[in-house]
Amino acid sequence: MDREIVKRIVEEARGEEANLVVWDKRDTFTVEPKAEISVEEDYLKVTMEDGKATLYVEYGWIYKLVVEKERAGGRTGARAGFGTTFS
């Protein structure tokens, strides 16, 4: 996935105070708005739980990012996403 696309989606999640759902080749994880997200040169760095857990995900491993925000009624759901395919 392209760094600029990742940066744009991360900024959207921050602006809306929404969860960011990341799918990579190995796993899927949800990043809550209070987590620290850094868009580095070659990877996405996510620091969660007051620095107790840090994830590094190379852009080439990410195949889908979704901004998830609250729906009416308190449920969360995928609102917008971007995906890529591997060759």
Domain hosting 39: range is: 3-83
pLDDT digits (tens, 9 = 90+) for 25-74: 889 999 999 999 999 999 999 998 777 889 999 999 999 999 998 755 55
Q: Please report the pLDDT score of residue 74 as a whole number.
A: 54
The domain tally of the chain equals 1
Q: What is the CA radius of gyration of the chain?
A: 12
pLDDT band at residue 77 under the 50/70/90 scheme: low
Q: CATH code at 76?
A: 2.30.30
The phi and psi torsions of 42 (rounded to 5 degrees) equal -120, -5
Q: Please report the pLDDT score of residue 87 as a whole number.
A: 45
The phi and psi torsions of 4 (rounded to 5 degrees) equal -65, -35
Q: pTM for this structure?
A: 0.76
